[in-house]
Chains A and B, each alone.
Chain A
């Protein structure tokens, strides 16, 4: 680590503050005392679904299709999760199964 202690503390504090801003700003902009505009309430209904989609893509953003294993282990594991989840609808099983399969793939097959 190249930073001094106080530099590291300052970095963590600044990241925590920035993160908190993103969480609190909507509630500061639209306090309970006044009704949010109709458009904002509409967004509040459709955004949860879109945000989960974004999180899936976000968690895959560093996968390269052009190099390495070309995203094949990711694709196999995700297909397995979809199949498992449609079949059993058990969240823990789907997550554990897909993750273990992925670990086996990257450790044993796509090394």
Chain B
């Protein structure tokens, strides 16, 4: 989805076509590296801006239609920041008070975040004060960008991921507020607009599919989920699907665990290598290679 470039491989030498002076000093021009990070992050988030404006608006509109005050959708966007769970919470708020069920449902619906975290352990290393926010704001779309984008070598990795997280989060909050305030004024029917969510994920899926030679992990994700959806039904398939995926990945590991060669040029860079190659990113360049 995010015009992933291979700059990382080709522009590591100072001769690159970069606006920055060649071979930036590790700590001397931190503001320039931060600005470069923003310039790299902003275009990648623009599709999300459009998607979240649609989606946030439809969510705010739904909350308005169900009779909730303005602060409900906005504070849920601010504190929960997990689109699907916020839609689920609308129904929770309209049924009988049951905090334990709400808590368990939140964990089950969002169990996929556990897998996002496992995917980002390496990339979030040495992020210092930025790390808690990067984790807090890691929604599906932010995860998709931060896990797949190749960050230009003259941009600060931490700031890049922070800008992606910040921008996406505020697109969502802004869209939600806007939807509540003006969504009802639209002169046409918005029936079916919820399909934008499916479209967004399908397009991310297609981009990953086309950017990667091996399709087994993607196929496992689709087939395990579809099978569990058929067997367990819409409300109970998430946990069995995640467990089934874990089992399949464990069983198929001998065939899938040699992905390193693909990933150094693919959409997902191996965290260790990138971090080691770009020690200049960190204020204290003293972090050693991560032992990959």
Binding site for B on A (CB under 8 A): 1-3, 7-8, 10-27, 30, 32, 35-36, 39-62, 73-74, 77-78, 81-82, 85-86, 89, 91-92, 94-96, 98-99, 102-103, 105-107
Query: Do B225 and A24 have beta carbons less than 8 Å apart?
Result: no
Decide if A50 touches B217 in the complex (CB within 8 Å): yes
Partner of A12, one of B79, B221, B253, B256: B79
| A14 partner residues in chain B, CB cutoff 8 A | 99, 102-103, 106
When chains A and B are docked, how far (Å) is the Cα of A32 from the Cα of B229?
A: 36
B82 to nearest A CB, angstroms? 5
Docked Cα-Cα span, A67 to B47, in Å, equals 34
Taking A18-B107, A52-B218 as contacts, is the C-beta distance between A46 and B202 under 8 angstroms? no
Q: How many A-B contacts are there with CB distance less than 8 Å?
A: 285
Q: Chain B, interface size: which category? A: 35 or more
**Is B280 at the interface (CB under 8 A from chain A)?**
no
Cβ contact within 8 Å between B270 and A45: yes
Q: State the main secondary structure of chain B at its contact with A.
A: helix
Assess whether B201 is in contact with A56, with CB atoms less than 8 Å apart: yes
Chain B residues near A51 (CB-CB < 8 A): 112, 115-116, 119, 143, 221
CA distance A9 to B81 in the complex (A): 15
Q: Is the CB of A2 within 8 A of B110?
A: no
Choose the segment among B13-21, B25-33, B171-179, B185-193 that binds chain A (4+ C-beta atoms closer than 8 Å). Answer: B185-193
B263 with A45: CB separation less than 8 A: yes
Closest to A15 in B: B106
Q: Closest CB of chain B to A90's CB: distance in Å? A: 9
B198 near A54 (CB under 8 angstroms)? no
